[in-house]
Structure 1
Amino acid sequence: MESAGTRELLSFYADAGVDDPVWDDAADRFEETRIEAEKRNERRAQAQAARNNSSQRPAPAQRAASAPATAAVPDDAQAARAREIARGAETLDALREQLNAFDGCNLKTTAKNTVFADGNPQADIMFIGEAPGRDEDIQGLPFVGRSGQLLDRMLAAIGLDRTSAYISNVIPWRPPGNRDPSPLETEICRPFIERHIELVAPKVLVTLGNPSTKLLLNTQTGIMRMRGNWAVHKTPSGLDIPTMPTLHPAYLLRNPAHKKLAWRDFLAIRARLNESAS
């Protein structure tokens, strides 16, 4: 006889688009591994090319004659500048305007849009991912591609949608080619997302995936060990927000067997929201 938990899990799988026990064609895991390896090799080649270009730069005197008015690569001073600017934002609208005007991160120069947030800023729950992808960059909204569609189904499985949740990213600009943001780029963007969380002041924060979890919980522990365990995000002003790390929807698309882990996390999130509402 089916238990209530089994029915809920099956319902979640159905909402997430998993409605067949097996595919018509067997999944080619070797092909998936090959594609991921090609992506890693491409990123390494790009990094090597960047290092080669750096070693071939002209002497300082030559650079001084041809350097543009603004630096092409952000430096540590931009992170300090970002902290000062973000701290001065008293409202979400002000923070959005300041982020749109900020020119201290190179990611902005290659992005089509600044991806600020979506959903209801008055909601009790806020979800934070890492960075926009292609679809998000085009539309200027977070989580609107395939991973966003899965996130919407996951929200629906616990009675939420974008009118009852608020969604953003650590990085507001798409990295070129969907590469990983550099540590410096992340540090430059950190003050904006920390101030963003502070202004929203949700009752529950959910970090989606490794990068946002490590940044906002100040940890080096991997997501597979962190997920499912409540932690605390401390805002710069000293506010403590209960935080649930969980798996990123993009990861779940690649590893559908782990949806059962995300389902457990979302049940815990639903229970915490029910407690805070009572």
Structure 2
Amino acid sequence: MAGEEEREKLVREAVSALQYLKALGCDYIPDGPGIRALFGEGAQMVEARERMKEVVAEEKVVVETVGEPTAATATSLQSLNLEGERPSVTLEEIRERLGDCARCKLSSGRQNIVFGDGNPNAVLMFVGEGPGKDEDIQGIPFVGRAGQLLTKIIEAIDMKREDVYIANIVKCRPPENRVPEPDEVKACIPFLMDQIEAIRPQIIVTLGGVATNNLLGTKGSLGSARGRFHTLDHFGSLVMPTYHPAYLLRDPAKKRETWEDMKKVRDMYNTLMKGE
């Protein structure tokens, strides 16, 4: 009897989650071997997924299949407590635990750890790739030319920089602004996941392909991911990938597509605020 009640509860929660996402305007959910590996293949999950398929058909929700998560993302997701309540954590506690970090080789060349900046209760969060020269000097994310453009983008959707929270996949500057290497991401991304848990933003904008793939656990191109909302497992945040401001400085023609992405973010934000 207890098993049947548990299955019914699981199905109800799954159906409710699907209907909630549809009401928010999110018309797809992730599926794939990486997702199934995290949640298991037990009888309860099989039954729940079968019922979810029925709801997907009824509600016209598209299921987006994604590939295996990267090793760094899988490690950070598996470290979460999936059985019960998420642990209570604050940004101050996360920063204290990070300490004078030397968990990867990036620590040897940095001037400052760039932890994050902004509203600790933000509804909207931005995640970039890693600090640049100016950020390394000041210890604050997105303060150089790309950061100035990001501030303008935020203001264009009728918000202020202090309304949002900004962080990066890695918190130390890679040499010559190269792409963070897998071992560096693996060492750092659990702290980003903890920041997301502490802030619990309802919307996350990933800036560039590196941020998008590492946060969502995908391996595709940014072009194939941008323009629509994805869901971040276990946190429930909606994720909108778009171009990194540094890329927009090199290719201004992409600003039009970025603006289309940000209008969707603005509309979703306004919808969420009306629902409070």
Instruction: Report the TM-score, using the length of structure 1 for normalisation.
Output: 0.67
1:80/1:277 CA distance change after superposition, 3 Å:
closer
- Contact 1:128-1:212 at 8 Å conserved across structures: yes
Aligned ranges for residues 20-169 of structure 1 at < 5 Å? 90-169=89-168
1:138-164 Cα offsets, whole Å, 9 max, x none, are 000000000000000111111112221
| Deviation string, structure 1 residues 71-109 (Cα, Å, up to 9, x no partner) | xxxxx9xx979x979x98821101011112332111112
Aligned length, in residue pairs? 199
| Structure-1 residue corresponding to 2:238 | 242
Q: Report the counterpart of residue 267 of structure 2 in structure 1.
A: 271
Contact 1:89–1:95 under 8 Å retained in 2:
no
For residues 191 and 216 of structure 1, the distance between their equivalents in structure 2, rounded to whole angstroms, comes to 10
Q: Where do 5+ consecutive residues of structure 1 fail to align?
A: 1-75
Aligned to 1:213: 212
CA contact (8 A) 2:89 2:194 kept: no
* CA distance in structure 2 between the partners assigned to 1:189 and 1:225 by the alignment: 26
Percent identical: 43
Please give the secondary structure, in 2, of the residue aligned with 1:127: strand
Q: Confirm whether residue 174 of structure 1 aligns to residue 170 of structure 2.
A: no
Aligned CA distance change for structure 1 residues 89 and 97 (closer, same or farther; 3 Å): farther
Structure 1 CA distance, aligned partners of 2:188 and 2:108?
14
Tell whether the 8 Å contact from 1:100 to 1:114 is kept in structure 2 after alignment.
Answer: no
Look up the SS of the partner of 1:121 in the other structure: coil
> What CA distance in whole angstroms lies between the structure 2 residues aligned with 1:146 and 1:101?
27
Offset of residue 187 of structure 1? 1.1
Partners of 1:272 and 1:163 lie apart in 2 by 19
Question: 5+ residue gaps in structure 2?
Answer: 1-70, 81-85
Task: Provide, for residues 23-63 of structure 1, a one-character-per-residue CA deviation record: whole Å limited to 9, x for no partner.
Answer: xxxxxxxxxxxxxxxxxxxxxxxxxxxxxxxxxxxxxxxxx
Counterpart-to-counterpart distance in 1, 2:87 and 2:171 = 18
SS of residue paired to 1:101: coil
Q: Which has the larger radius of gyration?
A: 1
Query: Which residue matches 2:253?
Result: 257
CA distance in 2, matches of 1:233, 1:80: 15
Kindly state the Cα deviation for residue 228 of structure 1 after the two structures are TM-superposed: 0.9
Give the match's secondary structure for 2:231.
strand
1:112, 1:137 within 8 Å by CA — same for their partners in 2?
yes
Separation of aligned partners in 2, 1:103 and 1:89: 25
Post-superposition CA distance 1:188-237 (Å, at most 9, x none): 11111111111110011110000110011111111011111110112xxx
1:101 to 1:80, Cα distance in 2 relative to 1, 3 A: farther
CA RMSD in angstroms comes to 2.6
> Helix, strand or coil for the counterpart of 2:220?
coil
Distance 2:133 2:261 in 1: 27
Amino acid at match of 2:196: I
Q: Secondary structure at the match of 1:274?
A: helix
Q: Which amino acid aligns with 2:238?
A: P
Determine the C-alpha separation between the residues in 1 that align with 2:139 and 2:231.
29
| 2:204 is aligned with 1:191 | no
TM-score (norm 2): 0.67
Secondary structure in 1 matching 2:258: helix
**What is the CA–CA distance in structure 2 between the aligned matches of 1:137 and 1:103, rounded to whole Å?**
15
SS in 2 for 1:214: helix
Instruction: Report the equivalent of 2:4.
Output: none
How big is each residue's C-alpha offset from its partner over 1:148-191, in whole Å with a ceiling of 9 and x where there is no partner?
A: 00000111111112221110001000012212211111111111
